[in-house]
Every structure is written in structure tokens, then in C-alpha cells.
Amino acid sequence: MPYKEYQNPLIERYASKEMSFIFSPYNKILNWRKLWIALAECEKELGISISSEQIEEMNNNIEHIDFDYAKEMERKLRHDVMAHIHTFGKICPKAMPIIHLGATSAFVGDNTDVILMREAVSLIRKKTINVVNNLKKFSLRYKNTPTLGFTHFQPAQLTTVGKRASMWLQDILLDFEDVEFAYKTLRFRGVKGTTGTQASFLRLFDGDHHKVKQLDTLLSEKFDFDKVFLITGQTYSRKQDSRVLKTLAGIAESTHKIASDIRLLQNLKEIEEPFEKTQIGSSAMAYKRNPMRCERICSLSKYLISLTINPYLIHATQWLERTLDDSANRRISIPEAFLAADAVLELLYNVTDNLIVYEKIIEKHIKEELPFMATENIIMESVKKGSDRQQIHEIIRKHSMNAASRVKNDGKDNNLIESIISDQNIPINKDEMETLVNPKTFIGRAPEQVETFISEEVDPILKQYTSSIGGMGEIKV
């Protein structure tokens, strides 16, 4: 019976081609070879007997990667780095004697991991700033649109649609700051040797400490890293992994929260994620418009958060200068964390770029609840006109109880305002009442807060990253 091997859904269904490429076998081995070439160039520059012909041979064959031969060699040698040294050496026979000279496996493994993480963080940064831009536009568009606020998912004081979105925006902006910090503080492992003492390189350079330090500096500069671990064991501190994945988990907690809010609002029919003309909400219920994209964001965000326990466990259990029980875990958890973060940002960009707002439904819900919220204002206005505060309070309390019973027990509209206007004991006419229950008088400084937040905190960052805005792809499914 024909079958296909298991395919990772993160790659097949969710993450972008760009992020998938970053963690592809090709890109990984390509960077191993770049590191071997750079090491040889630096060693040659510092006086080691390496010819230009050997370096040219490696450069000419850098992209010719025979993965089948590498697999064959790894089965024989049980060592992936040595397998690829032999694979590279097979097509670079002149360079074979100097490939990986003085280095340990972590030289290519760890340095490549940092290079790939930097590429991935850069892509995450781009996608985060695009979500920021979407939410900025949405917040400004609806900054003045009143809506019910909710505490405990119970109707509370009014806010605005834009102010609520600016809360989402603020969370993503905090994530962006963390992403930027992660990018700027990533440290290269550099050239450190078997247990981090650089002993093999000191021997290579006949005890010349200065040249060993130069080698570390020159190689790190070739890969544009200005921050390099000065102290390592065989590997760089795995604490760097947990710092980076913690940033990705921060994105997941924000995207989950935003998507959950939209799911709740979609149930209320106030705001809806995009729904395409040919999209099917349910295989059974033809009328359904399920928030499937937001549900997928929540699903992948949970997975991403769960992945971030891995680097903490890895770092905590690295014995002394290193132990290999980090390797298999890191091969899976680090790429998948980035793939998941990429996927949720792609989805959130798609959702926030096309959010649907049903203003008439929002107005309807306000009208159902605002009369109760307006009672305090009605009492104050009545007292200003000479009424006794306690008497008015009791009168309005009775009207409120009757209106609430009418809504809950009889399923009728909230008639509290009409009831109060018809009561001769309350000195407020219809025109005055319309002013008192105007939703815009209940939103406080929400519009101004949105404007201030965006002008002072959001716009300066967007201006700095103008070139990163745009170029987002379509989600796969």
C-alpha cells in the first residue's frame, strides 16, 4: 500500500517558506561550509600554511552538497559533523587536509545555530512590525467608536473599539522590544576549541596567545557579530537559547490573548475575522462562520509556549563543560519554536489586516446595557435640579429592577430610559436624557489615549522600520 512519510505540519501547513528555509538542512550545511572556509581564511591570514588554492576550491564547491553521501558517511561514522567534513572533502580533495583545522564539532554546530537564530529573529522582527502596523491603523480607525467594555466578561463601562485594539497593539509592541533585544544581544560562540580553553588553537599557533585572540575576533567579524562569548565550555551557554525562546513565548502569549478576544467578540457578532466567499465553517452546519484562524493562532500559541520549557531543562542539566543530551532536543525545539512563532504572526497579520466590525450590533449591545450604566448620571443631574438624592435613588432603583426583570424574564427590550422619562418625579426631559445617555460621553479619554500612545510609542518604531513593512505572504490554509 503506497504511503508518505510523516510531514511536519508546521512546514506543510503553517509556517512561511522563508522560515522553513532558514532551518532547512541545506541552509544549515551551507553555513557549516561558510564557517570552515572562514576559519581557513583567518588561519591563513595569521600565518598557518593554507593555500589560496585550497580556499578557492572550497568556495567553488560550497553549494554542491551531496546529502545522500553524507547520510552514508554518518551511518558509518555515527557523527554528523565528520560525515559532512568527508562529504565536503570528497569534492575538495586539495582542501581536505585543512577543513575543520583545530576546531571541534561545536565550532560549526553552535556558531551555525546562532547564525540561523539571528536570521530567524530578524524575520520574526519583520513580521511583528507588520502586525504592529495593522493594529495601529485599526486602532486609529475605530478610536472614537464606543463599545461595551467587559470585566469578567460581564458588561462594564464603555471603551472604544480602537482603544481595545490599542491594548492588543501595546502587547505586540512589548514583544517587538523583546525581539529587538534578542537580535541585538545574540552572542557568537567563535573559536573556542574542545572544552572552551582554545588549547588546540594555542598549539596550532605555537603558543601565541595574541594570534589565538585575533583568530576569534577575525572570524566573528566575518559573520558580523560584535558580541561574542568570551567564556564557553565545549558549547556556548545554553542559557542563550532559553533567553531567545522566552521571547518567542512572549509573542505566543500575546497572540493567544488577542485571538481569544476576537473569538469572544465574534460570538457576540461585534467583530469577526475574515471569512472568504467559498469558505466552509462547518461540514454539518452550513450557516457557521467559525473563527478558525484565531482558533489556529490559539492552538499554535499553546504549542509554542509548551516548547519553551525545553531550553530551561537543557541548560539546567548541561554537565560541566557539556553533555550531548542537548543535541536531539535542540534540533527539534529551537526550529519548531521559530516555525510556530512565524505561523502565529502570519495568521495574526492576516486576521488584523481584514478584521470586520459590525457597528450596528455594537450599538445594539450598548443600548441594551447603557441605561443601567447611566443611572448614576441621571441621579446626579436630578439632584442638580433640586431633587432629594435618596428619594431619586430609590425611584430609579425600582425602575431598574423592573427593566431588568423585563429583559431577563420576558426577553423584552430594555425600556429603563423610557420608563424614567415617563416618571413625573424625575425632573429630566427627553432631550436632556438623550445627552445623558449619549455613548460618547461614557468613553472617557479613550480616543486621546489611542492617539497619544500611537504618536509617542508606536510611530517612532514604525518610522525606524519603514523598510520592513509589507511583503507579507498569504497563509497556506
Distance from C-alpha of 399 to C-alpha of 58, rounded to nearest angstrom: 87
Residues designated catalytic: 152, 282
The enclosing H or E element of 325 equals none
Greatest Cα pair distance, the chain, in angstroms, is: 105
Single-letter code of the amino acid located at 206: D
Distance from C-alpha of 271 to C-alpha of 261, rounded to nearest angstrom: 10
CA distances from 232 to 29, 210, 243, 313 (A): 23, 18, 17, 19
Provide the CA 319 distance to its chain's centre, in angstroms. Answer: 32
